Amino acid sequence: MMSGGNEKSVKALKEVWRRAENSLCADCGKPDPDWASSTLGVFICLSCSGIHRNIPSISKVKSLKMDHWDDAQVQFLAQHGNAVTNATYEAHIPIYYYQPTYNDCQVLREQWIRAKYERKEFTEPGKQLPYSDGVKEGILWKRGRDNGQFLPRKFLLSEREGSLKYFTKQDAKEPKVIIKIDVINATFQPVKIGNPNGLQITYLKDNKTRNIFVYHENGKEVVDWFNAIRSVQFHYLKVAFPIASDNELKSRLTRNFLKEGYMEKTGPKQKEAFKKRWFTLDHRRLMYFKDPLDAFAKGEVFVGSRENGYSVRKGLPSGTQGNFSWHYGLTIVTPDREYLFTCETETDQLDWIAAFTSVIDQPMIPQEYAIEAYFKVKS
Ligand SMILES: [Zn+2]
């Protein structure tokens, strides 16, 4: 417990620590932080304290439980705290900038903390930032579709052209692919890609999802790319939907997948052998892949809303035959057919059901009816 220090300063420390403003980590929002920075005056969680420790010129971190805090330090915390310090360091965050939470990966959280305190990117309004120009050009290492090898590729993002392009040869004039900015999603996938800075970029082509996997060895560079894509998307949407609020537009920038993982599936006759596939639930699109790093989905299923005839059930229909090695079943009901899946564990089964339920419980927006119609034509 609190060692050293006189009783008075221990009591004073507890009082500051207990303030409502200090009840969440100043950087990632995790409840009950028990570390603090004696130089910045913020209360932070253990994992953010590890990032602060890597920036010793800016932040000195100490445990609130185990370390000794002298009177002057306690007074400093009392005069600062999360509200006052964030009012300075988070004063002018661009609306499109992705502010990570404790659920996000290390590279996003580290670059956020460095942007905030080390580079002071948000202390003044209208600061020129590497992701705020509406144009970005540079090299990203891209995974080859067929051999799985990562090779350097030139990428070019342009707000004026409303696109992200990449080139196979450094000096090539014609891009290999031109992706329209309004169909791009980007999400960090370090585990799946096998690189701490791994970014998955997905886009729609002919209404089908394509994946590309990239990384940059420099964490700042890859997070700058991510925020540059968000910035260009935001400005594109702003022109396309001039009456929408900024927060509404922000919610339509890049999104994280609701859930990913392996399940077994059978075919439409429900008698085919179950096959193990990698599934990604990207809002209303359930995609499945043979390999998690495949460029194309083998199939996609539209997941609509309850009032339009979609539901999810625990278990498989009684009497389901077929070969399945996993025993935690679930059934997705759509107006056209039932989809049968099995999960390896009960936890997985319940997590998938929760993810599907969260989508099915939301009413569909007009654009989603158009997507649903497209899926119906296709099948
Ligand atoms: Zn934190």
Q: In what order do the strands lie in the sheet with 311-314?
A: 299-302, 285-289, 275-282, 259-265, 338-343, 328-333, 311-314
| CA 120 to ligand 1 centroid distance, Å | 18
| CA 176 to ligand 1 centroid distance, Å | 40
Average pLDDT, the chain: 94
> Whole-angstrom Cα distance, residue 106 to residue 1?
29
Nearest to 74 by CA among 124, 156, 10: 10
DSSP codes joined into one string, 47-111: HHHHHHHT-TTT--EEETTTS---HHHHHHHHHSHHHHHHHHHTTT--TTS----TTS-HHHHHH
DSSP state of 361: T
| CA 292 to ligand 1 centroid distance, Å | 30
| CA 215 to ligand 1 centroid distance, Å | 24
- In the structure, ligand 1 is a single-atom ion and the residues with CB under 5 Å from it are 25, 27-28, 30, 45, 48
Write out pLDDT tens, residues 90-102: 999 999 999 999 9
> Whole-angstrom Cα distance, residue 125 to residue 342?
52
Do 314 and 237 touch, CB atoms closer than 8 A?
A: no
| CA 188 to ligand 1 centroid distance, Å | 18
| CA 359 to ligand 1 centroid distance, Å | 28
Structure-block tokens of residue 152: 């350097």
Do 296 and 208 touch, CB atoms closer than 8 A?
A: yes
Do 113 and 51 touch, CB atoms closer than 8 A?
A: yes
Query: Would the pLDDT of 322 be above 80?
Result: no
| CA 102 to ligand 1 centroid distance, Å | 6
pLDDT value of residue 118: 97
Query: Would the pLDDT of 377 be above 80?
Result: no
| CA 152 to ligand 1 centroid distance, Å | 33
| CA 110 to ligand 1 centroid distance, Å | 10
| CA 19 to ligand 1 centroid distance, Å | 17
| CA 48 to ligand 1 centroid distance, Å | 4
* CA angle at 83 for the pair 79 and 85, rounded to the nearest 5°: 65
Write out pLDDT tens, residues 250-295: 999 999 999 999 999 998 888 888 999 999 999 999 999 999 999 9
Question: Who wins on pLDDT, 306 or 270?
Answer: 306
> Whole-angstrom Cα distance, residue 37 to residue 63?
9
| CA 33 to ligand 1 centroid distance, Å | 7
| CA 46 to ligand 1 centroid distance, Å | 7
Do 198 and 189 touch, CB atoms closer than 8 A?
A: yes
pLDDT value of residue 7: 79
C-alpha Rg value of the chain to the nearest Å: 24
Cα 70 from chain centre: 40
| CA 63 to ligand 1 centroid distance, Å | 13
| CA 79 to ligand 1 centroid distance, Å | 21
| CA 49 to ligand 1 centroid distance, Å | 7
| CA 83 to ligand 1 centroid distance, Å | 15
Query: Would the pLDDT of 2 be above 50?
Result: no
Query: Checking DSSP bridges between strand 285-289 and strand 275-282, what pairing results, if any?
Result: antiparallel
